[in-house]
Amino acid sequence: MKRRAAILISGRGSNMESLLRAARHPDYPVEIVLVLSNRPEAAGLATAAAAGIPALAIDHRPFKGDRGAHEATINAALTTARVEFVCLAGYMRLLTPVLVEAWAGRMLNIHPSLLPAFPGLHTHERALAAGVKIHGCTVHLVTQGMDEGPIVAQAAVPVLPGDTAESLGARVLVREHAIYPAALAALALGVVALSPGAEAALLNPLPLPATLP
Ligand code: GRF
């Protein structure tokens, strides 16, 4: 039986689309049962709804800064949908312990850099400014520290002469779309192990090819 996952977004949702695409494959071990956004206007919500996936906005603004109450409402929606795993995919809110502790070991995030380099925002601009020759993306388990959780999967791309943040970001995004479905599958299949030092290790190679139909 497929495991049940939700995706949290705030915007365009291209990583969400890559997860939905992977989940359509009969052999993929996860079904996406809910897409949730803190922004009702997020383009990804309409994309998910058009794909027949329950899509829900829980706007953070009426909560007037009470992040815990907003997250408790999200948690209630996740529980109602009998979600087992949560994927943050461009979800642009810092999380409180309400979500982080409820989903410890079962919540993934994708970040557009090779962590621990360049946590936070504007990663492509900062990578170019730093002059790195290799850049990339990371899928990690979510812990309270921003972009600090155990790394599950990474992919690297070259930084090419003449790159702009846009061209570099586009190259990274292609790899994001490949590693996120693979990392979610690995977590759902139970082949991601956490060592006492809290680094994540794959017990087996990623169970799926990097590119899915
Ligand atoms: C991606 O670059 C992701 O790594 C970051 O936010 C961006 C979201 O893009 N966390 P999209 O909404 O998935 O297209």
Least confident of 42-56, 66-80, 145-159, 181-195: 181-195
- Report how far ligand 1's centroid is from the alpha carbon of 161 (Å): 24
Name the DSSP class of 64: T
- Answer whether 176 contacts ligand 1 (Cβ < 6 A): yes
List pLDDT tens digits, range 85-143: 999 999 999 999 999 999 999 999 999 999 999 999 999 999 999 999 999 999 999 99
Predicted confidence (pLDDT) at residue 207 exceeds the cutoff of 60: no
Amino acid making up residue 56? L
Confidence of residue 193 (pLDDT cuts 50, 70, 90): confident
Ligand 1 atom 2: the closest Cα is on which residue?
Answer: 112
List pLDDT tens digits, range 1-57: 999 999 999 999 999 999 999 999 999 999 999 999 999 999 999 999 999 999 999
- The label of the residue with tokens 């995004």 reads 173
- Answer whether 14 contacts ligand 1 (Cβ < 6 A): yes
Ligand 1 atom 14: the closest Cα is on which residue?
Answer: 14
Closest CA to 75 of 111, 113, 39, 104: 104
Ligand 1 atom 10: the closest Cα is on which residue?
Answer: 90
Active site residues: 111
Predicted confidence (pLDDT) at residue 211 exceeds the cutoff of 70: no
Amino acid making up residue 17? E
| Ordered alpha helix ranges (H), 34-110 | 43-50, 67-80, 97-102
What pLDDT, on a 0 to 100 scale, did the predictor assign at position 192? 84
Mutate to test the pocket of ligand 1, among 8, 15, 45 (most ligand atoms within 8 A of CB): 15
Return the number of other C-beta atoms located less than 10 Å from residue 205's C-beta: 9
Atom of ligand 1 nearest to the CA of 12: 12
Return the number of other C-beta atoms located less than 10 Å from residue 65's C-beta: 8
Atom of ligand 1 nearest to the CA of 44: 12
- Answer whether 93 contacts ligand 1 (Cβ < 6 A): no
- Answer whether 90 contacts ligand 1 (Cβ < 6 A): yes
